[in-house]
Structure 1
């Protein structure tokens, strides 16, 4: 088990200070942004919109592949680390957070796909806010340790990079 290390003590202390600091009814709704039935349809709609507007499939397919890689990356890491949860020490598989990764990849990839067609630069900040609210809800509710969501955010950044590159290439081609 890879659950003990120099950051585990501070992580656990921070979690104890934060858990249930906000009513469960609020934090559960925030955590729900990371549910597949909520996040993935947002990405699918953005994929369809981007293909319709640009007539280019590569950025949308890259976004879909990035989303498909979330469970392929997260599930083995959960099994390998077998970290127990803050409120369920008998259960394992909390590190890294799948809900955080789902929210971060789905919303950020969707934002990157629609950003070239937005009049303002709101899509990416909105996506980052939704991912951050999901992570906060998971930690404040006690469903994840702070490092669980931080690790997922870092992994999500790596999964979304190809989407950003594909969108950038597609945008340069269409404007050039």
Structure 2
């Protein structure tokens, strides 16, 4: 159903519209490259180090939880993406050989790295303006990676959308774990 059928039909209609867009090849390639592990993972590592340093320095209860959860979220990317690519065996857009395009690993990497970094940095930003701008920048960056991948013909549009959905859920798990288990002892709900 995913490899062929109505989803494939939608990709074949939408894909050429994006690959034929006016976005210059160099800009599209740069956007696609922002989803590589070599670019995205160091940014997340820097955010992990910063959040751990700030939390430890401030004496925050369970200061290590958010950084460790973000690192684990990044470790989940290949654990989920590689088996799904093998299981689904979807062929790529015209000009791409083989199978294993669904879901997009670059999109997943970007989603977790930039989304995780955003979640780690939000508590340290003052004011709603800075926080809102960071979230908008993260969303635009992830959209740009997906656009670049499709524009360059590396992925079908739904390969990218699938990664956004799947790894959006991974980031939500990160939020829930940190919110539920990162509370101070005096903030824990008391049994009734």
Q: 1:20 Cα shift?
A: 3.8
Secondary structure, counterpart of 1:7 in structure 2: helix
How many residues are matched? 176
- 1:65-76 correspondence to structure 2 within 5 Å: 65-76=72-83
Aligned to 2:33: 32
Structure 1: give runs of 5+ residues left out of the alignment. Answer: none
Once the two structures are superposed, the pairs formed by residues 92-111 of structure 1 within 5 Å of their partners are: 92-111=99-118
Q: Structure 1 residues 66-75 or 161-170, which shifts more?
A: 161-170
Shift of 1:123: 2.3
Correspondence 1:1-176 to 2 at 5 A: 2-21=2-21, 22-55=23-56, 56-88=63-95, 90-119=97-126, 120-121=130-131, 122-169=133-180, 173=184
Q: CA deviation at 1:175?
A: 10
- Mapped to 1, the partners of 2:26 and 2:123 lie a distance apart of 36
The whole-number CA distance in structure 2 between the counterparts of 1:25 and 1:124 is 26
Q: 1: CA distance between counterparts of 2:94 and 2:136?
A: 31
Instruction: List, as ranges, runs of 4+ consecutive aligned residues in structure 1 with deviation greater than 4 Å.
Output: 169-172
Contact 1:59 1:170 survives alignment (8 Å)? no
The CA distance in 1 between the partners of 2:186 and 2:74, in whole Å, is 27
Three-state SS of the structure 1 residue aligned to 2:6 is coil
Larger CA Rg, structure 1 vs 2:
2
